[in-house]
Amino acid sequence: MPDTLKKVWALFSAAEQRKALWMLLLIILMAMAETAGVLSIMPFLSVLARPAIVHENRWLGEAFKALNFADEASFITVLGLITMAVVIASSAFKTLTFHLVGRFVHMLRRSLAVRLLSTYLRQPYEFFLTRNSSELTKNVLSEVDQLVFELLQPLSMLIAQGVVALAIIVMVFVYDPWMALCIVATVGLLYGAIYVLVRRRLVHIGAARQAADANRFQACSEVLGGIKDVKITHATDAYLQRFSHASRELSRHSATAETLSQSPLYIVEAVGYTGLIAISLVLLWRSGDIAHVLPALGLYGFAAYRLLPAVQIMYRGMARLRFSAAPLNSIHRDLQLIEVDDPAPGGKVVVPRHCIELERISYAYPNSPEKPIFSSFSLTIPANTTVGIAGPSGAGKSTLMDLMLGLQRPQLGVLKVDGAVIDATNVGAWQRAIGYVPQHIYLADATVAENIAFGVARQAIDMGAVERAARAAQIHDMIAGDLAQGYLTPLGERGIRLSGGQRQRIGIARALYRDPPVLFFDEATSALDAQTEEALNEAIRSLSGSKTIIVIAHKESSLRDCRQVVMLGQGRGAAVQAAVRLGDSSLDYPDGAEPIEPSR
Ligand SMILES: Nc1ncnc2c1ncn2[C@@H]1O[C@H](COP(=O)(O)OP(=O)(O)OP(=O)(O)O)[C@@H](O)[C@H]1O
């Protein structure tokens, strides 16, 4: 339990921790107001049962005289009205406190989700190679909700009702210590025993619920993301079955947790109310006069009326803490991840004037450390030249590009630009110098212009730069001629309204939008017809000399204009790389590499 509370406390920002302390103070005040409400019943019931007490009791007598009451009946009426006012005021304060605490908890939902997403987004690219994207989506959208509404809210109720219960017990203790001890022992034992019995099961089904939720998200995002393959392979039923099974598990575990959190109420209600009858019989038996018994009975009755739901809510809070331990642990762990990526969009840009170098790099994917993709590999790319990367499928071309892009970091060796090592401190500045066309272009469900000026706010888009980039990417005529709203035409989810070649050219225009000094093309022209490809190669050719261009290509036509081609091949064990130059004798070959003439 202390460990859980420590984790919950660590979820809050400094401002939220301060706010949480204010909430705690409000809760304590609310408990005191609630106790005052319960206590105020006492004098009223006493006077009601025996009006003569007005003159016997010092305080009541003085109040009677000071306020000039004509008779006892009007005194009782005013006392009744005051009692009603205290009870109503205490309930109003309680409502206000619950509203403020509830609002605080709801605000945490936003703050936790934003902080979690921001922590994920500032992880290095490699983080996303090892974590499933639907799991991350589930954590941000579903697990945060589970944590907030199934753990933090019940926890706030647990604290609130804990203070209320404590105040009521202290009040009963002052009036009758033995009675208070009996109540604590009975209710404590009852709930304690039930809690001990169910807590392990709650942790177990909590973890199973989390796994079922992950399955649900994964099935849903896979089937909707790959709908074409799903349709063609008739995998709909298999996915529906997987989703339905996971949803059933989720519902089953949630229902069991709900039952385990709720069921003691009925047992405790039965014990509580039969106890109340037993107390009234004992009191009656002791005093023999119902008028003496009535105030005490009223106090116990009211205390029970407030205490039982309070204890039940406390128990439910404890049960929820157990059931929601899994999301608490995973969100707490993920929020501890160190943010490494430089989020600042502005700042200096690292423009290569002489060369880009990979110096004796070794790299293996974190999830396949036994399979090195590069071992002590070196490569120098002179600035403002066009360099090709070729080799069979799986040879490591895209990985090499990712290393040069600074998306992945080698385990050994360094990436340098003009002799300066690119590390976490300047990788953002290096990436701002780069335009990149990946193998698979991601298009957002937005307009053509927004897709070309990707990541720029709609009102800040430079339409002149958009058109210039589209012309260079050989897509302007199609946008202006075929699309009803030109650059303002929405492209649909993932650019579903475009052909593969059109999508590729939008991707190329995106890379050119900022007119970057370095361009990376990963199979950028693979989906184009010969004529468009030639026009695009011509556009790329016109940029060469003024920009550093690195091209991955299988087609000879795309490599024709390269000043050098790096041929990656697979050798014994680890991949062996060879750099190939075309007429440049100044190029350093990597250790043990052989120059290979690319076929023309
Ligand atoms: N995320 C990953 N985790 C583990 N291994 C990976 C990962 N991505 C790629 N690999 C492995 O790294 C090797 C190089 O992959 P890469 O994508 O760089 O090859 P490529 O030359 O670009 O291939 P292609 O021409 O087919 O695109 C492959 O053997 C591949 O299985």
DSSP 103-130: HHHHHHHHHHHHHHHHHHHTS-HHHHHH
What is the mean pLDDT of the segment spanning 574-585? 39
Does 396 contact ligand 1 (Cβ within 6 A)? Answer: yes
Q: Which atom of ligand 1 is nearest to the CA of 399?
A: 18
Q: Which atom of ligand 1 is nearest to the CA of 129?
A: 1
- Residue 345 binned pLDDT confidence (cut-offs 50, 70, 90): low
- Residue 570 binned pLDDT confidence (cut-offs 50, 70, 90): low
Pairing state between β 372-382 and 355-364: antiparallel
d(CA 363, ligand 1 centre) in Å: 12
Query: Mutation test of ligand 1: which of 373, 402, 550 has the most ligand atoms closer than 8 Å to its C-beta?
Result: 373
Looking at the structure, do residues 389 and 298 belong to the same domain, yes or no? Answer: no
Q: Whose CA is nearest to atom 24 of ligand 1?
A: 393
d(CA 354, ligand 1 centre) in Å: 29
d(CA 135, ligand 1 centre) in Å: 23
Q: Which is more confidently placed, 376 or 569? A: 376
Does 68 contact ligand 1 (Cβ within 6 A)? Answer: no
Q: State the alpha helices, DSSP H only, in 393-529.
A: 397-405, 427-431, 448-452, 463-472, 476-482, 500-513
Does 373 contact ligand 1 (Cβ within 6 A)? Answer: yes
What is the mean pLDDT of the segment spanning 41-66? 80
Do the beta carbons of residue 328 and residue 4 sit within 8 Å?
yes
Q: Which atom of ligand 1 is nearest to the CA of 368?
A: 4
Q: What is the pLDDT of residues 384-393, one digit of tens each?
A: 888 888 888 8
> In this model, does residue 497 exceed pLDDT 90?
no
Looking at the structure, do residues 155 and 91 belong to the same domain, yes or no? Answer: yes
Any domain includes 156: yes
Q: Whose CA is nearest to atom 26 of ligand 1?
A: 393
**pLDDT over 70, % of the chain:** 92
Any domain includes 168: yes
Any domain includes 186: yes
**pLDDT over 90, % of the chain:** 24
Q: What is the pLDDT of residues 279-318, one digit of tens each?
A: 778 777 877 777 767 777 777 777 777 788 888 888 888 8
**What is the pLDDT, as a whole number, of residue 597?**
40
Looking at the structure, do residues 426 and 570 belong to the same domain, yes or no? Answer: yes
d(CA 226, ligand 1 centre) in Å: 21
Q: Whose CA is nearest to atom 28 of ligand 1?
A: 394
Looking at the structure, do residues 328 and 369 belong to the same domain, yes or no? Answer: no
- Out of 275, 303, 335, a domain closes at 335
Looking at the structure, do residues 286 and 402 belong to the same domain, yes or no? Answer: no
What is the mean pLDDT of the segment spanning 177-187? 83
**Mean pLDDT, the chain, integer:** 83
Task: Take residue 268 and report the two structure tokens written for it.
Answer: 């405790």
Looking at the structure, do residues 101 and 70 belong to the same domain, yes or no? Answer: yes
- Classified as helix, coil or strand, 316 is helix
Range with the poorest average pLDDT among 136-140, 261-265, 549-553? 261-265
d(CA 344, ligand 1 centre) in Å: 30
Does 570 contact ligand 1 (Cβ within 6 A)? Answer: no
Does 367 contact ligand 1 (Cβ within 6 A)? Answer: yes
The whole domain housing 566 covers 354-432+559-594
> In this model, does residue 265 exceed pLDDT 80?
no
Q: Which atom of ligand 1 is nearest to the CA of 568?
A: 21
SS3 content of the chain, % helix, strand, coil (to 5): 65, 10, 25
**What is the pLDDT, as a whole number, of residue 577?**
41
Query: Mutation test of ligand 1: which of 126, 127, 133, 365 has the most ligand atoms closer than 8 Å to its C-beta?
Result: 365
Other beta carbons within 10 angstroms of residue 265's beta carbon come to 17
Looking at the structure, do residues 174 and 271 belong to the same domain, yes or no? Answer: yes
What is the mean pLDDT of the segment spanning 400-427? 90
Looking at the structure, do residues 192 and 277 belong to the same domain, yes or no? Answer: yes
Does 369 contact ligand 1 (Cβ within 6 A)? Answer: no
Looking at the structure, do residues 331 and 387 belong to the same domain, yes or no? Answer: no
Query: Mutation test of ligand 1: which of 128, 129, 368 has the most ligand atoms closer than 8 Å to its C-beta?
Result: 368
Q: Whose CA is nearest to atom 16 of ligand 1?
A: 396
Which one-letter amino acid corresponds to residue 579? A
- Residue 586 binned pLDDT confidence (cut-offs 50, 70, 90): very low
Looking at the structure, do residues 296 and 385 belong to the same domain, yes or no? Answer: no
d(CA 370, ligand 1 centre) in Å: 14
d(CA 122, ligand 1 centre) in Å: 24
Count of alpha carbons within 13 angstroms of residue 324, beta-carbon side: 30
**What is the pLDDT, as a whole number, of residue 207?**
92
Does 390 contact ligand 1 (Cβ within 6 A)? Answer: no
Q: What is the pLDDT of residues 145-170, one digit of tens each?
A: 989 988 888 888 888 788 888 888 88
**What is the pLDDT, as a whole number, of residue 56?**
80
Any domain includes 459: no
How many structural domains compose the chain?
A: 2
Residue 265's CATH number: 1.20.1560.10
Any domain includes 527: no
Q: What is the pLDDT of residues 515-533, one digit of tens each?
A: 899 999 888 777 677 777 7
- Out of 335, 366, 392, a domain closes at 335
* Euclidean distance between CA atoms 568 and 585, whole angstroms: 20
Other beta carbons within 10 angstroms of residue 328's beta carbon come to 22
Does 394 contact ligand 1 (Cβ within 6 A)? Answer: yes
Query: Mutation test of ligand 1: which of 398, 401, 439 has the most ligand atoms closer than 8 Å to its C-beta?
Result: 398
Any domain includes 211: no
**ipTM score assigned to the predicted complex:** 0.96
**What is the pLDDT, as a whole number, of residue 55?**
79
Any domain includes 245: no
Does 129 contact ligand 1 (Cβ within 6 A)? Answer: yes
Do the beta carbons of residue 558 and residue 388 sit within 8 Å?
yes
Q: Whose CA is nearest to atom 7 of ligand 1?
A: 365
Does 438 contact ligand 1 (Cβ within 6 A)? Answer: no
Does 531 contact ligand 1 (Cβ within 6 A)? Answer: no
Does 563 contact ligand 1 (Cβ within 6 A)? Answer: no
What crossing angle do the helices spanning 41-49 and 14-39 adopt, rounded to 10°? 10
Q: What is the pLDDT of residues 458-484, one digit of tens each?
A: 888 999 999 999 998 888 988 988 888
Does 586 contact ligand 1 (Cβ within 6 A)? Answer: no
The structure tokens 């209710």 sit at: 187
Query: Mutation test of ligand 1: which of 128, 130, 397 has the most ligand atoms closer than 8 Å to its C-beta?
Result: 397
What is the mean pLDDT of the segment spanning 78-83? 87
Any domain includes 510: no
Looking at the structure, do residues 304 and 427 belong to the same domain, yes or no? Answer: no
Do the beta carbons of residue 399 and residue 374 sit within 8 Å?
yes
> In this model, does residue 144 exceed pLDDT 90?
yes
Query: Mutation test of ligand 1: which of 399, 439, 552 has the most ligand atoms closer than 8 Å to its C-beta?
Result: 399
> Nearest Cα to 358, choosing from 523, 597, 579?
579
Does 393 contact ligand 1 (Cβ within 6 A)? Answer: yes
Q: Strands, DSSP E only, in 481-595?
A: 518-522, 548-552, 564-570, 575-581
Residue 374's CATH number: 3.40.50.300
- Out of 335, 362, 397, a domain closes at 335
Range with the poorest average pLDDT among 50-64, 175-189, 335-349? 335-349
**What is the pLDDT, as a whole number, of residue 347?**
61
d(CA 395, ligand 1 centre) in Å: 7
* Euclidean distance between CA atoms 76 and 361, whole angstroms: 91
Does 397 contact ligand 1 (Cβ within 6 A)? Answer: yes
What is the torsion angle, in degrees rounded to the nearest 10, for the CA atoms of residue 56, residue 58, residue 60 and residue 63?
Answer: 130
* Edge-to-edge strand ranges of the sheet holding 386-390: 434-437, 518-522, 548-552, 386-390, 564-570, 575-581
Does 398 contact ligand 1 (Cβ within 6 A)? Answer: yes
> In this model, does residue 325 exceed pLDDT 80?
yes
Q: Which is more confidently placed, 446 or 531? A: 446
What crossing angle do the helices spanning 290-323 and 264-287 adopt, rounded to 10°? 160
Looking at the structure, do residues 331 and 362 belong to the same domain, yes or no? Answer: no
For CA atoms 327, 332, 337, 342, the dihedral sign is: positive
- Classified as helix, coil or strand, 418 is coil
